Amino acid sequence: MKVPAIYELKEDTKLSDLLEMTGGVNGISFKNRVQILRVGNAGDQDLVEINLSEIEKEKENNITLRDGDLVKIFTISQTVEKVVHITGAVKSQGTFGYRDGMTVKDLLTYSGGLLRYSSKEEAELTRVNITSEGPKTERIIVKLSKAMDGDPQYNISLKEDDYLFVRTVPEWGLYRTISVTGEVKFPGTYTINKGETLSSLIERAGGFTDKAYLKGSVFTRESVRNLQQKQLDESINRLEQEIMSQSAKTIEVALTSEDVQQQKAADEQRKGLITKMRSVKARGVVSIKIDKLDNFKNSYYDIPLENGDTLYVPEQPHQVQVIGAVYNPTAFVYNPNMTVEAYMKYAGGMTRNAEYDDIYVLKMDGTAISKRGWSGSSDVNGGWFFKGSFMSSVPDPGDTIVIPEKIERIAWLKEVKDLTQILYQIAVTAGVLIVAF
């Protein structure tokens, strides 16, 4: 109704009288239903349903209103029932109103027409037919070029809820790009063809400069970054659940107020550690052995490129870093005769909290070599040329020697089983080192 309100009734006021007092129904009123909520003689409530259209035509159901009646007029349904759909390589995808006699050509016109990379050979029209056994889906192949020419064989009449999918031409992608930076003759962002390999890109970039440090080349891939980040997040989630579970158990058995305060302080440390871990983002590094172009071409590492790949070829660095549980974590000038042990001695040696068995080296290309996994032979990039113990091996320029700290020295860390593994995973996938306290 146009003016909803509370109205004072006179004797024998009819429903039609009330509607006239309110200014009548508006354009969106559903006239097939008027609901009257009425208090009965026994104090209970009754619902009376009336067809307003019949009152307007015949005046037969023009009910007399009572004191306290609540009259409700509903709006018409907001659902558009007669529609068709179009998606894919058209200018305006979406849902359009259906009318009798509407054709494929009409729908294409309403959608703004085809995009230049649409496949004019075939489109797929999906139609749902309602049968006594349930809905049945029918798929019809439409040749768009002929439909646009008005060929009645393909410019077929549509039905309600038809769904037209316009395909792109096979393997369409406007551009696939990859970035190559650093020590190549022509760095920049290049477009690539499907199946083009890394060696082809390097050739187009003019090859390597004389300063290129091939062992330190870093290759990243977006799909790998997404996978690494997902695995990293899942690991941190499991760790967080484990830490919070241990925290709750510890607080439950706390005996004194001092114990409770200590546990609260430890809880803050736990939360801080998780926060630091969640700030880490994977880089998507793929370990690839870059070599001189003649040797690299058609090698195992000459992989097909993907959109968004990056290659960075650095100059040869002149330092080796030593970080972690040593007395003087710093960077040292690279010396081809110095071993892991020698660099650690220059850093003042290990502290009493150092975890000797878990020492590892982060390589520039994203790989890592640990003391536990040391086999005494050279790594994939050929940098570990000394065949002997891990401590006697010789790092490459740009490597980082990491001496982890013992997590057992912090009481609440003793019960966290996977912390060392996750910290190592973060270091390798993100190139970030996190201290656990």
Tokens found for residue 230: 């997902």
What pLDDT score does 107 carry?
A: 93
Question: What pLDDT score does 373 carry?
Answer: 72
Whether the per-residue pLDDT at 372 is higher than 50: the answer is: yes
* Confidence at residue 38, expressed as pLDDT on a 0 to 100 scale: 81
Amino acid 182: pLDDT = 94
CA distances from 110 to 113, 147, 161, 418 (A): 7, 14, 16, 59
How long is the chain?
437
- 306-430 carries CATH number 3.10.560.10: yes
Distance, C-alpha 341 to centroid of its chain = 43
User: Which CATH homologous superfamily contains domain 83-168?
Assistant: Outer membrane lipoprotein wza domain like (3.10.560.10)
pLDDT at 43: 65
Pairing of strands 45-50, 400-403: unpaired
Output the 3-class SS for 25-43: CCCCEEEEEEEEEEECCCC
- pLDDT bracket for residue 19 (50, 70, 90): confident
Q: Across residues 11-15, what is the average pLDDT?
A: 75
Contact 396, 364 (CB under 8 A): yes
The residue with greater pLDDT, 137 or 414, is 137
Pair 320, 330: CB distance under 8 Å: no
Query: How far is the C-alpha of 289 from the C-alpha of 218, rounded, in Å?
Result: 10
Phi/psi of residue 31, nearest 5 degrees: -80, -10
Q: Which stretches of 291-405 are DSSP H helices?
A: 293-296, 340-346
Query: Would you say the pTM of this structure is higher than 0.85?
Result: no
Query: Where is average pLDDT lowest: 24-33, 342-351, 356-365?
Result: 24-33
Q: Is the pLDDT of residue 424 over 90?
A: no
Token readout for 236 is 């941190």
Summarised one tens digit per residue, pLDDT across range 343-352 is: 999 999 999 8
Measured in Å, how far apart are the chain's first and last C-alpha atoms? 69
User: pLDDT per residue over 179-227, tens digit each?
Assistant: 999 999 999 999 888 889 999 999 999 999 999 999 999 999 999 999 9
On the question of pLDDT at 255 being above 70, the answer is no
- CA–CA separation, 162 vs 183, rounded Å? 56
* Domain coordinates in residue numbering, the chain: 15-75, 83-168, 177-278, 306-430
Determine the pLDDT at residue 207.
93
Say whether 23 sits in a helix, a strand or coil.
Answer: coil
Confidence of residue 318 (pLDDT cuts 50, 70, 90): very high
Choose the most confident range, by mean pLDDT, from 45-59, 129-143, 204-218, 275-289.
204-218
Give me the chain's average pLDDT, please: 82
- Using a pLDDT cut of 90, give the percent of the chain over it: 32
**Residue 215, beta-bridge partner list:** none
Is a pLDDT exceeding 50 seen at residue 315? yes
Residue 396 tokens read as: 């490459």
Q: Which amino acid, one-letter code, is at 191?
A: T
Find out whether 193 and 325 touch, Cβ atoms under 8 Å. no
pLDDT at 411: 55
pLDDT greater than 90 at residue 116 = no
Residue 51 to residue 32: CA distance in whole angstroms: 5
Question: To the nearest 5 percent, what fractions of the chain are helix, strand and coil?
Answer: 30, 25, 45
222-252 helix and 419-430 helix, angle to the nearest 10 degrees: 150
User: What whole-number distance in Å separates Cα of residue 183 and Cα of residue 6?
Assistant: 83
Q: Which pLDDT does position 327 carry in this prediction? A: 93
Contact 246, 220 (CB under 8 A): no
Instruction: Report the distance separating Cα 381 and Cα 403, nearest Å.
Output: 22
pLDDT band of 381, cuts 50, 70, 90: very low
Q: Identity (one letter) of the amino acid at 248?
A: A
